Structure formats: structure tokens, C-alpha cells
Structure 1
């Protein structure tokens, strides 16, 4: 079968005319100079009430949760994707696959957002899906092919002239020739080594052989790590089709990530994956495997590289497991503490839709996966209609769980109130 490459996007990120000067190179390690700013265009608040909010709250009545849990509307955020909760005052920054990053503020701490505004509006973002914080409060925004940092994001999020710096220049995160329409939503995390980890989906359903060497070299179809100033780039893991969720286990410092697997192989194969990468240099099997131990048609006769790492968990085929987080709070019962929440966006390449739910995976004492189960569901109706599609999960300082939804354009909050 001839490999099908996803359509190449013909959009190029340009500096906004509102910027008085180009965004500067990263000053990480020297934050005395916090200029230039991004401009003077004031962000407009996103309306939080009205009929749209009423309809979303009505849909949430259909969501099924374990006993003692409650879900409510936290914020209306257009195209809400991956989230980063600020370590200082809990401002939630939300990436999208469009051209905006949003800042969500709950000023009175009633666990419902008071204000949602576009963050750094003069910057023309290009697929700013990936957002993550360093431990000392620097916000990183990973776009399709650029990385930016905002040293004072949480304290100055309302200002249009907030300082912005380039960590990785446009066109240097991946080769521009490998930019595509799909598999471009990046995610990021700061690791225990204080480096920035970035997942780089590859632009094919199954890539041709003449791309493998390039992808392994630069980390496309893998996970890379760099210093926070953009230097010392390394390929941390390979053999990954399209990871759109990762997090570090705070107990043993190991990296875990979700991986969306090959389309076009039927409703129930191959399974999607939740993986564990305790060390650099591991290969997780793609494109030789389209999912755990299911050979792809394109590579079924190829010899397997040595040492391929199997997944920790097989998830339902085509459920689109995206964002994930380790639960480190104390609000939820003991069973959930230290485990993994993952968001399933829902299927498109399936005759009967599946997904649109939040999963929970518990861990064994040795730090490996135990079992997975459905935690929250009901966004997919019996007739196959999506009332919402979860993308990411993140924890607020009080231990409640946020769930983003890019279809409804909302963020939900799940809390535990006891039985």
C-alpha cells in the first residue's frame, strides 16, 4: 500500500504587525530583562453566561461518574485543548489548535472561572496546543514548529504587553518539509531533570521507509528534550506514532505518554497505547507495529528492531487517548491517588463511535500499570452523537480535576464530595 501523507498546511507563522520588534531569544537563566513586550492590543473577555452555558450544563447532567463525584462547568473556552495550571495563583492557560492561547482566572476561588481572555493577543500563534509550566513559573507554549516562553505569564496574564521570548525558532522544531495538517498538536512537560520534553507526532498514517532515518534523527514520531533555553537537544524516545499526552510520575520520576495508533485497520484494531519510558533511547515499535503486537500492513514483512518496548496498557482502538496527568491531590479517595487520568477524544475511523470519556489507570507497587477503567462518560450518546469530546485533564490546587473539551468549547471541573 502506498503511504498516505496528510495534507501539508500552507500557513506560515508571521510576526504580528502589532509587535514593535521581533520576539527575542530566550533569556532563561537571566530574567532581569523582560522585554520586548508583545504589543498593546487588549484582550477581550469571553462571555461566560447565557444560553451556551445553560446548554453545556444541561449536557453535563448526562455524565456518569463514580459515587461521590460531581461535575460542573468551570469555564467556556473556545476550542479548549491542553491545559497548564500556574504554580503561583492557579491561573489556567489553555492551548488550542487554532490561533489562540487563553488565560482562565478564578479570582474569588469559588471553583468557577470569573474571566477568560486571550493570552498575548498580538502574537500570531500557529497551533499553540502545548502549554506547560516550569517549576519556577515560566510558561512554555509549543506550537506546530516553534517554542515560546513567557517568564511572567501568571502574574501579568491580563497585560497585552507581556514579555515573550523564542526558545526554538520557527521552522527549527521539526524540518519545515515535514509540517502537516494533522499530527501537529504538540504537548510538553518539564522533567525531573529540569529539561523541556516535547512530543512530536509524525505526518503520516504510516510513514514510508525513506523517512525513518530522518525521523529517528530529529525525533519526529518521538519525544525530544531540550534545555529550557533551547540548547542541548536530544531524542529521548522513538517508535511513537502520535503522542498528544504525557506526564512524569512524581513517585519514581518516569515519563509516561499516550499514543494514537494506525487508522484503516478495522474497528477494533490496533489498540491504542499508554506507555512508560523510564530511560532515554527506547523504541516503542511504530511503524513496525501499528499498536501493541499488531503489525502494520506496510511493515509486516520487515525484521523487527531489537528491544522494542511494549505498552503498559492497551486502550480501545481509535478512542483517541490524548491528554494525561498523574493525580497528586488529596481531594479524591485513596484509590485514585498516584494513578493516571487520561482523556479520550473519541473516534472518527470507526463504524460505531467510541471514546469521549475520561479513563483512570491504577499502578502497581513497582510503578507499572495495574488496570484501567472508565471514570467519566456520557458525552457520546447512544445514537453516536458527540455532545462533547474531552482532550486533556489537569489538577487544580484543591485537588479537583479539570477536563477540557474542544468540541463544546469548555472546561469542566470534577470534584469529590463523598457519599
Structure 2
């Protein structure tokens, strides 16, 4: 299809979908008790694209008064996640999906075009780049490709001298020594992960337990709402627990449609996750969320959402399973697409930013009023969310609502630096207190 024709088709689709949105306070869905309107059914879901334009000149995101932001690294190839090693080196995971999902419905084709206009089709590096800023001045002295030719990597975790990488179809282990700038030894497969031939949610989030004995992998569903059949969902919409010593895995929690970020809350030591919820039942359903992850718990997908709210699209119903569904802890609002999670373990960003969770919200495509496109901070007290999320890094949309960037992974280093991966701007941003 020619670019001109595809533009017209997308425009027509957006016109149809745009008739179905109405005024709604997206902030009413932030917190432990979100407003949940009645579900709606559509020929096409509400869609509006923030056309990708990238950053120009000296433009940067916006941060609150008392902070400053600058580019830490540019010219990356679709950076998705950032991780800080104990010696201060920063790992940047550059990747995009394997693009193996079949297109079976006309609306799948239209939604694919819409996402491509928003920059979703950018080529990823399928590699991990190391950045070293030894003097802390915000300009890396070393930039090196640490690992390459990895199949759509996403999560990364260092335990001792083992670097674990969650590719889309396998958890891999690589030898690492402090100070390494390149790893040439082949990786060892710890365990297979659900991949193709359909790989709808390809990202695999990764976190290591505080004692280093277990690894946790977020495995997203293979569909929006089981349109590829339940058999395609085997082992998916789950968080896996993997024994480091043996590679054996088990389901730690289930019913989480797409758990894209995992981290351990520093005070309680409990595992938390961010989750991308389902689409196509309204611009204001279903809220994406941040939640503690209870061992053995079921979180609703696909049969229900936000506890026992039944999704009638999935047949046959499973009332007993729905009755057991756990309500998440904290809503982030609908379709914000959280893709990065990091707890702050330092007060060097300020006392107001210690102990809580930074969340990178990639931004909506399937509602008329844009939602997300920012990094927020959820304050915590006594191991639980304790107030409204605060905007920390904004300005990814320009005044014409075009996308200059889209935040993904976030990380906080011990020096009080917040790092934000921007997969549209191909940049890692560095946020610090402004200082005297």
C-alpha cells in the first residue's frame, strides 16, 4: 500500500474512532480506587496518534523546578531499558520486537498502521550498549557495545559475575567481570521463554531477588483478549520465578496481561510490577497499574479486570476464577502504557523522592485525549503507595501534540541520577538536582 493511501486509510479510521470519545478526567483513574466507566464495544477502538517528529535543536524534556535534564547518550537504536551496575556503568538495552505476529483482522492492519505513524516501527539494535561516566559530569567517557546479536532483548540483571539478559524467547546468562566493556563469550541458555510463532507481547521484564537466588521474568500475553485462542496463551500473562542454580521455573503469579517492569520495593523487599492492561472496551478502560505481586495470586486477565469486573468478550466465562481475582494496588490511568519501573533507594534526588517508584509511561495511541508520555513518581510509605503520582519528566509531546520522544525504561543510580530511555528520540536522558 502506498504511503498516501495508507495515510488516508489511517485518517478514516481515526475519524470513525474519534466519534466515540467523550470528556473524562484521566486523573480520576490514578490511585488505589480508580473510576471505572461502563465498557463499550466498537467497530474500531478510539485511536489518535501523536505523530513522531523527534527532538530538534536544543530541545529537551521538561522537569520540575530545582532539577535539570540533559542528554546522556544520543544516536542510540531504539533504547528500551536502562540499568545501572554497581560500579556506576550504565547498560542501555536497544531493541524492537521480532515482528512475527500474524495480521488476521482488518482492524489489526489499521492499528498496525496507526502505531507505525507513532514511531513503533523503528529499527532496534538488538544489543546492549555500555556507558561509563566515571567522573559523574554527565558525559560518558566510554561508550561500547557490550553485547550484540541478541534476539529482541528487554530485561537485564547482574548477579555477582553473571549478567542475565531476557531475550524474547530465552533467558540467557553471560560472564561478566567488573569493568568489562565487551562480552565476547557466548551466552548460556538458562531457560526457554514463550516466543514465536506468535509473539504479541515480546518484551520480557527481568529482576533478581534481593538475595540473588531467584530471577523473575514478566511474560506478556499473546493477544489483547485471547483472539489467537487460549492455547496461544500457555505460559503467558504470568510472572515466572526461575531458580538461578537449576534453571527450573514456575508460575509465581498469573492473570497479568503484560507485566513490563519488575522491581523489589526496598523497605518491604516485596516484588512489584507495572502492567499494561487490555484495550478495545473504551478510551477509559482498563487502567494500567502498579501492584505488589503476591505469590500464587491471579490478577484477572483475560476473564476480568480490576478485581471482579467481568470482561464478557472472553467465552466461556470462568466465574470461579474471577471470584479469586486480586485487585491491583495502584492504578496509573487507562492506556498510559507503563514500560519502565525503578524504586528510588537514595535521597540524593531530594527527600521527596526516596523510597517511591519512578514509572516510565510510553503513552497512548488508542484514545482521543493523549495519556501518559511522561515519567511519574509514585510516593511510598511503609512499603505501600501513599499519595498521587507526580509528574517528573514531561514535554515529550510538543505544543501541536506531536511526539518528540517516548519514555520507556527508567533507572536511579546511587549518585542521585534519574536515567530515562527514550525510544523515539533514541536518547537516554539524565535528570539531576539543579544544585547551587
Alignment length (residue pairs): 351
Query: Relative contact order: is structure 1 or structure 2 higher (C-alpha 8 Å, sep ≥ 6)?
Result: 2
1:273-288 equivalent positions in 2, closer than 5 A: 273-277=289-293, 279-288=294-303
RMSD between aligned residues = 2.5
After superposition, the Cα gap between the structure-2 partners of 1:59 and 1:285, relative to the gap in structure 1 and judged at 3 Å, is same
Counterpart CA distance in 2 for 1:334 and 1:78 is 35
Q: How much has 1:94 moved relative to structure 2?
A: 2.5
1:100-115 equivalent positions in 2, closer than 5 A: 100-115=127-142
After superposition, the Cα gap between the structure-2 partners of 1:78 and 1:312, relative to the gap in structure 1 and judged at 3 Å, is same
1:255-270 equivalent positions in 2, closer than 5 A: 255-270=271-286
1:289-308 equivalent positions in 2, closer than 5 A: 289-291=304-306, 294-299=309-314, 302-305=318-321, 306-308=323-325
Aligned to 1:73: 71
SS across alignment from 1:335: helix
1:134-283 equivalent positions in 2, closer than 5 A: 134=159, 136-152=160-176, 154-158=178-182, 162-168=184-190, 172-174=192-194, 176-177=196-197, 179-180=198-199, 182-194=200-212, 195-207=214-226, 211=230, 215=234, 218=235, 220-229=236-245, 231-277=247-293, 279-283=294-298
Q: How much has 1:56 moved relative to structure 2?
A: 5.6
Aligned to 1:133: 158
Counterpart contact for 1:56–1:408, Cα < 8 Å = no
Aligned to 1:35: none
Output one character per residue of 1:167-205: Cα deviation in whole Å (capped at 9) or x when no partner.
Answer: 335xx212645x41x310111010124211110011100
Q: How much has 1:347 moved relative to structure 2?
A: 1.0
Q: How much has 1:211 moved relative to structure 2?
A: 2.0
After superposition, the Cα gap between the structure-2 partners of 1:267 and 1:311, relative to the gap in structure 1 and judged at 3 Å, is same
Aligned to 1:45: none
SS across alignment from 1:371: coil
Aligned to 1:394: 411
**Structure 1 runs not aligned, ≥5 long:** 1-53
Q: How much has 1:280 moved relative to structure 2?
A: 1.3
4+ long deviations beyond 6 Å:
none
After superposition, the Cα gap between the structure-2 partners of 1:56 and 1:250, relative to the gap in structure 1 and judged at 3 Å, is farther
Aligned to 2:121: none
**TM-score of the superposition, structure 2-length normalised?**
0.74
After superposition, the Cα gap between the structure-2 partners of 1:292 and 1:401, relative to the gap in structure 1 and judged at 3 Å, is farther
**TM-score of the superposition, structure 1-length normalised?**
0.77
Output one character per residue of 1:376-408: Cα deviation in whole Å (capped at 9) or x when no partner.
Answer: 211112422111000011012311100000100
Counterpart contact for 1:88–1:137, Cα < 8 Å = no
Counterpart CA distance in 2 for 1:214 and 1:129 is 20
**Structure 2 runs not aligned, ≥5 long:** 1-53, 97-123
